[in-house]
Amino acid sequence: MNPPHGQPYHRCEIAVGAPIDSAPTQNVAPQQAAPSILNPNPAPAVSATPAAPVQAFGPKPALNPAHGEPHHRCDLAVGAPLS
């Protein structure tokens, strides 16, 4: 499954929680958890160590770098101009 933004292996072009091998979507919108109707008492989620936010060191590049790199913006395509 595609992990949340900022987590390792996240792909910005597919929805969070979608299978990682999914085709990219046109408009990526933040996903919200739907309430569970089948299981009124779901098991608590196992929490992994939270990832530290990406630190933006050095000069800002002209183009959006790859996900996980400093200055990356998930709302822009990789390689798009940063403005």
CA distance 3 to 16: 6
Say whether pLDDT at 83 is over 70. Answer: yes
**Residue 62: is it exposed, middle or buried by C-beta count within 10 angstroms (0-12/13-18/19+)?**
exposed
Q: Which two tokens stand for residue 72?
A: 């990356």
Amino acid at 80: A
Biggest CA pair distance of the chain: 50
Say whether pLDDT at 69 is over 50. Answer: yes
Q: What is the mean pLDDT of the chain?
A: 73
